[in-house]
Amino acid sequence: MDQSVVEHYASAGLDNANVQNYLDSATSATWRFVRLNPRFPVDEVLSQLTAEIGVEPVRVPWLPENARFFAIPGATTIKNLSTYEEGKIYGMDCSSGAAVAALGLNNNTNNVSGETRVLDLCCCPGAKLCMIVDELLGLRMEVVGVDISDSRLNISKKLLRKYIINTDANTLVKLFHADGTTFPNPKSDSLVFDSRAEAQETASSKGRKRMNKSARAREKKRLKELGGEKETGKIEKKEKKTDEPAARGSDSLFDYVLVDAECSTDGALSHLKHKNKSLKSSETVTTTIKKKLDDEGNLTALQLSLLNAGFKNLRVGGTIVYATCSLSVKQNEGVVQAFIEEHKGVAEAVPIDFGGQMTPAVTGPHHSLRFSPTLTTEVGGVISGGGFFLCKFIKK
């Protein structure tokens, strides 16, 4: 095994003896996690899921109960379950869920417009986006997802169509194909999904499961028309040349921003293997991680740019959460420190509270949280997911 990878994991608290176990555990995790769609009764879904997998799912106790995270046996193939096919559950690591829970979406008491606006700056493949919408059910909301990958945005659209399209008129969800480091940029951003336009098309399609040629043309036209507006619904004047959202007025800013940044993924090997099916052994995983870590300088520059862009899009008094699924100090504490130095007196790091429950996380500098890299085991009786890092800020 490459010594630099061993040293990387050693810096995260893994000794030489258990590094190999950690790399191997991605294919034999004790737990995997599902999140229940709140549009279905909890008891009904749990009963159906229990019958399918043969054991009772275990609620993840350290996340808020309304987050609806449950652990099921690690060998379960979720896509084969009827609860999954019917849109009642979806797979999502509980550590990733912690990034959304950390936003504190239910505590938006400083909203003067009556509408909660949330930006998910690196939104794909879309599970966190769905959770954000679910956390705000019943409230007037605008949720904007941004990603630079066409293929991953297609996955997000499918997920949104499956889980949240039949929601009420107070909910607006948009997806932009855009560079998160420069969003919003009217010259390059492209609107690829609008939930209200989607709902209109669904209503006019009369139950067709797939769009025909005319339906696709209508969708394209609607999105093109809507794409002439910025994410606030206000048309951007061509003569305004600025990348600072504040120049357009406070109503164009967001109450909450989530930056789950691109990273080396070394803290969530199951996720890494899910994205790349060719990673069938600890050796190929090690090689992939080494390549990512060798490019860490460019990676941390990207992460800081994303965090800065998210902060520009945040209103005063708003909340931003920075997250990665890496164990790297450079990608986590290093990026946070650089961000704080760049925004002294404006960005205030604050503690993350999941409701007072014990979590499988260690508190670090600036109230940051590092989740155990033990990959879906029990730590002191607390069910944990993959390795994850979180830090939360308020804009002063």
pLDDT band at 229 (very low <50, low <70, confident <90, very high): very low
- pLDDT tens digit string along 107-120? 655 555 589 999 99
The domain in which residue 327 lies consists of 1-28+94-396
Backbone angles phi, psi at 306, to 5 degrees: -65, -45
Over the chain, what HEC string results?
Answer: CCHHHHHHHHHCCCCHHHHHHHHHHHHCCCEEEEEECCCCCHHHHHHHHHHHHCCCCEECCCCCHHHCEEEEECCCCHHHCHHHHCCCEEECCHHHHHHHHHHCHHHCCCCCCCCEEEEECCCCCCHHHHHHHHHCCCCCEEEEEEECCHHHHHHHHHHHHHHCCCCCCCEEEEEEECCCCCCCCCCCCEEEEEHHHHHHHHHHCCCCCCCCHHHHHHHHHHHHHHCCCCCCCCCCCCCCCCCCHHHHCHHHCEEEEEEECCCCCCCCHHHHHHHCCCCCCHHHHHHHHHHHHHCHHHHHHHHHHHHHHHHHCEEEEEEEEEEECCCCCHHHHHHHHHHHHHCCCCEEEECCCCCCCCCCEEECHHHCEEECCCCCCEECCEECCCCEEEEEEEEC
Residue 96 corresponds to which tokens in the numbers above? 């990733």
Q: What is the domain count for the chain? A: 1
Q: Give the predicted TM-score (pTM) of the model.
A: 0.86
Please name the residue that has the structure tokens 């609860």: 83
pLDDT for 343 equals 98
pLDDT for 223 equals 66
* Rounded mean pLDDT, 143-168: 89
325 flagged as catalytic: yes
Structural domain contains residue 47: no
CA distance to 181, 297, 298, 346, per residue, from 309 (Å):
5, 19, 17, 14
Structural domain contains residue 76: no
* Rounded mean pLDDT, 136-151: 93
pLDDT for 273 equals 57
Structural domain contains residue 239: yes
Higher pLDDT, 349 or 371: 349
In this prediction, what percent of the chain has a pLDDT beyond 70? 73
pLDDT for 212 equals 57
CA distance to 95, 127, 340, per residue, from 131 (Å):
13, 6, 28
Q: Which CATH number belongs to the domain containing residue 4 in this structure?
A: 3.40.50.150
- pLDDT tens digit string along 165-217? 666 788 999 999 999 999 999 999 999 999 988 887 766 665 555 555 655 56
pLDDT for 199 equals 80
Q: How far is CA 266 from the centre of its chain?
A: 17
Structural domain contains residue 374: yes
Higher pLDDT, 31 or 49: 49
Q: Report how far residue 312's alpha carbon sits from residue 262's, in angstroms, rounded to the nearest whole number.
A: 19
pLDDT for 267 equals 85
Structural domain contains residue 179: yes
pLDDT for 362 equals 87
Structural domain contains residue 312: yes
pLDDT for 374 equals 57
**What residues form the annotated binding site for S-adenosyl-L-methionine?**
147, 179, 260
Catalytic residue (choose from 124, 130, 325, 391): 325
**What residues form the annotated binding site?**
147, 179, 260
- pLDDT tens digit string along 318-369? 999 999 999 999 999 999 999 999 999 999 999 998 876 778 888 999 999 9
Higher pLDDT, 189 or 274: 189
pLDDT for 18 equals 62
pLDDT for 206 equals 58
pLDDT at 34 over 90: yes
Structural domain contains residue 256: yes
pLDDT for 143 equals 95
* Rounded mean pLDDT, 375-396: 77
The mean pLDDT of the chain is 82
